[in-house]
Structure 1
Amino acid sequence: MNNQTHPTDEHSPPPDEKQPLSTGAAGDDDTTQIRTSSAPSGSSHIRSFVHRRAHITPGQKEALDRLLPQWSIPYQTSVLDLAQTFGRQAPTVLEIGFGMGETTHAIAARRPEDNFLGVEVFNAGVGALLKRIDGSDVRNIRIIQHDAVEVVRDMIAPGTLAGVHIYFPDPWPKKRHHKRRLVQPPFIALLASRLAPGGYIHCATDWENYAEQMLDVLSAEPLLANTANGYAPRPDFRPQTKFETRGLRLGHGVWDLIFQRTSQAAPAA
C-alpha cells in the first residue's frame, strides 16, 4: 500500500503544521499560545512534531483568546489532580494529538460518563476544539497545549488513566524520520505505567508500515495485552470521518489496535 495522502486529514492539523523540518521560531499568528519548554537535563527526547507558522482562522484565534483559560490546563512539572481538574471523579481518557478536535468532541459527547484530557500543540487544532466545545453542551473535555511526552511523564500519576487514544499520529513516512514517530517502546512503556489495570491504549493509523510498527511495539510491552488477534475492528465509539470514509472507498487501509493494561505491577520508577 502506498498512501500519498491521508484519508484522515480532518483529524490532523493543517498539513503545513506537520513537516519533517527543523523547529522554527514562534510566529505571531499561529504560535502565540503554544507553551513550550525544554525537557529537564538528562531526560531529553526526540519530539514527534515541529512548530511552523501556519494558517489559523479568525474564529480559531478568537476561541483561543476567549476560551483557552476556561478549558485548558497549563503544563506543570507536578502531578495533576484529575478530580479537581474536571470537578468530578470519573474515568479519564488521555488523547494525544487530537488534531482539529472533531473525533475528540464526538467521543466525549458519546461518553459523557468519562473525562477526556486532550493534548495538542498546534493552535489551529486547539482553537477548533475550543469552538466545538463552546458550540455544544459537552463539558467533559480539558486541553493541555504542550509536548505529550512531558505531559505524561510529569503530570499523570501512575495507574490513574482509564484509556489512551492515539489516532492517526504523524507517520513520518521517510525511513530516516521513523525515529520521530510517537509510538516507540520507551513512550509506550511510560503510557502503560500510567494506565490503571484494565485500562486500554487505542491506536489508529492509515499507514501500513506504521501499523506494523505499532503492533510490534505494543505487543512487546509486558504491561499490555492485545484485545484482538492482531489488528482490532474499529470500535463504535471512534467515529469514521468523511476523509477516512473517502480513503477506504479509494482502497486505502485503516488499522486499529487496542491493547489492555494487565494486572501485573509496573516496574519501579
Structure 2
Amino acid sequence: MSSSALSHRNTRAFRPEMLKAPRDFFVPEIVHQQNASNLALEIGAGKGKHALGFAPAHPDTHLIAIERTRTKFEAFDKLASKEALPNLTPIHADAIAWSVHALPPASLQHIYLLYPNPEAHNPNQQWLNMPFFEFLLSRLQSGGKITLATNIESYMDNAEQQATILWCLPSMRYKVPQNSARTHFEIKYLARGETCWELVMQKPEGYQTRFDTWQSNKIA
C-alpha cells in the first residue's frame, strides 16, 4: 500500500490500552465462532428500530447493536426479548470501550452509524474525526463496509472529505429515499421534508492500521 494510503498514520494514535471494559461486560458467543464471517455492528441503536428490522431481513448476518443511554436501551431490549431474534444481540455499553475489549481484528463485515450526534459544538467527536475511527477500521474485514447516515449536510460533507483524504477509503454518497424508515430519527427528518444523506465506505484489500494485531486480553 502506498504511503498516501497510510496518511492516517500521521494522526494522533488512539490508545486502546487506556480504556477499561464497561460494567457488566461480556463477549457474545457469536464473536468466538471461527466461521462468523457475517458479523455486523450498529453503534447508537437507540430504541432498536433499525436493528429489529435488519435482523429478520438478513438472517445470515448476526447484528450486535449497542446503545449507551439506559432508557433507550431498556426499550430496545424489551422489544428484542419479545421478538427473540437469534441473530440479534443488544448491548448496553459505551460503544468505544466495548468495541476495544470485545471485538477481535477483522471481525466485522459491516458497521452502521445511523444518525449519530452531530457534535456541532465539538467536531472532534464526530466519528471520522476521532482517532478511534482507525481502531474501528482495524475491526473491519477487508472489503467490509461502514454506513453513515445523517440529516446534517455539513456533517456529511466533512465525513466524505475525511473518508477520502484522511482515511483513504473508497466511498459513495447517496440521498436517502423519502420512503426510508430505518430509524425513528430518519422517519422524523424525512417527514419534515429534510434531506438525509448516506455515506457507504469500504475497506480496501491490504488496508493497514496500527491496530491490526492488537487484541484485548478480555477476548478469551
How far apart in 2 are the matches of 1:240 and 1:268?
A: 33
Letter in 2 for 1:208: E
How far apart in 2 are the matches of 1:86 and 1:132?
A: 26
1:142-197 Cα shifts (integer Å, max 9, x gaps): 133222122222221111100100011111223xx223333324122111111111
Question: 1:127: which partner in 2?
Answer: 74
Q: Answer 1 or 2: which has greater strand percent.
A: 2
Q: Percent identity?
A: 22
1:189 aligns with 2:131: no
Question: 1:219: which partner in 2?
Answer: 164
> Do the aligned partners of 1:98 and 1:120 also contact (CA within 8 Å) in 2?
yes
> Do the aligned partners of 2:175 and 2:195 also contact (CA within 8 Å) in 1?
no
Deviation of residue 137 (structure 1)? 4.2
SS at match of 2:127: coil
Scaled by the length of structure 2, the TM-score of the pair is 0.74
The 3 A distance-change label for structure 1 pair 185 and 209 is same
1:204-230 Cα shifts (integer Å, max 9, x gaps): 01111211121122223446321x2xx
Deviation of residue 81 (structure 1)? 6.6
Letter in 1 for 2:137: A
Q: 1:75 aligns with which of 7, 15, 25?
A: 25
> Do the aligned partners of 2:80 and 2:90 also contact (CA within 8 Å) in 1?
no
Question: 2:195: which partner in 1?
Answer: 253
> Do the aligned partners of 1:188 and 1:217 also contact (CA within 8 Å) in 2?
no
How far apart in 2 are the matches of 1:87 and 1:131?
A: 30
Question: 2:174: which partner in 1?
Answer: 232
> Do the aligned partners of 1:75 and 1:144 also contact (CA within 8 Å) in 2?
no
> Do the aligned partners of 1:95 and 1:117 also contact (CA within 8 Å) in 2?
yes
- Tell me the matched-pair count: 193
How far apart in 2 are the matches of 1:107 and 1:246?
A: 19
Question: 1:161: which partner in 2?
Answer: 108
Deviation of residue 267 (structure 1)? 3.2
Superposition misfits of 4+ residues, deviation over 6 angstroms: 85-88
Unaligned stretches of 5+ residues in structure 2: 1-14, 212-220
Scaled by the length of structure 1, the TM-score of the pair is 0.62
